[in-house]
Amino acid sequence: MKRSMTIEAPAKINLSLAVGPRGDDGYHAIGSIFQAIKLCDSIELSLVDEPGIDLECACDCGVEQNTMYKAAFLYIQALRREDLPAPGIRIRAVKRIPSGAGLGGGSSDAVAVLKALRELIPGSCGPAQLAAMASAIGSDLPFFLGGSCAAVRGRGELVQPIKPRLDYALVLARPGFSIATKDAYALLDELRPLAPGRVGGGLEGSLNAALDAYANRHPSSWRFPNDFYDALIGRYPGLKAIKDRLSGLGADFCSLSGSGSCLFGVFTDEKQALDAHSALSSEGIESYLSFPLARLPYSV
């Protein structure tokens, strides 16, 4: 039996993101197109004799608050419920996905841990158990269990795989700050009385229109929404500056990913994407050249 493995944890972008009003449970429904991309963290996970969870990661939170730790902890609990031996777990993470950027790095890292443990401990947890553990950690984790592109609804737990388009390159650009997800939602809620958000069929209608355009239209005609963008640019003017710069460098479509702070440009000309990435880097802007993924590693 293998005792260790290294698994990649890809980032994602939100090609479209419509956000419903805050519900009575405190959560917001979304309608979004998620696309996994080649920018990734690397997670090395080993089973060891010493009990407990040993996590080594350059992260901005306490160890027990880290999503990878939470994933390993839930997996150990699941093993014990089934009266299966629970090994010690050692995790070493190499982070490349920036935090607070709306790229899902923490969520993808946690799912990578779940997938690695399932591979290293055959017959331990099935797909339904992994899905339950993923949902318990965070709303957007279930996406990373399946296909590389999906229509995502509800709080993020309703994932409908769709065929990914691979006919474009991406340039990601991050301003010199992060945005906490809870702060972005709070600002969106604050501004909604002045500009009411999507409700009822409006949320589903927005997603269906985005899905149709995604499948059938050239990226230069994409007009996908990100409801966070208009709410955030008043407080974070650097977002608009980055978006305008990506457009000026020839992007066919630009948007904010998730609740920010990372923006991305879609380029159907790969050389133009490479030139844009070089230009942004020369201007001192944190920039990444990436591509959509056709599949996720170890899909469940």
Q: Tell me the pLDDT of the chain (300 aa) as tens digits.
A: 689 999 999 999 999 999 998 888 888 999 999 999 999 999 999 999 999 999 999 877 788 899 999 999 999 999 999 999 999 999 999 999 999 999 999 999 999 999 999 999 998 999 999 999 999 999 999 999 999 999 999 999 999 999 999 999 999 999 999 999 999 999 999 988 765 555 444 789 999 999 999 999 999 999 999 999 989 999 999 999 999 999 999 999 999 999 999 999 999 999 999 999 999 999 999 999 999 999 999 887
The overall pTM is greater than 0.85:
yes
Q: Please report the domains of the chain, with CATH numbers, ordered by start residue.
A: 4-161 (3.30.230.10), 169-290 (3.30.70.890)
From 140, 227, 243, 252, active-site residue = 140
From 12, 70, 115, 243, active-site residue = 12
Q: Which has the closest alpha carbon to 6: 130, 94, 74, 68? A: 94
Question: Is 24 considered catalytic here?
Answer: no
Question: Is 115 considered catalytic here?
Answer: no
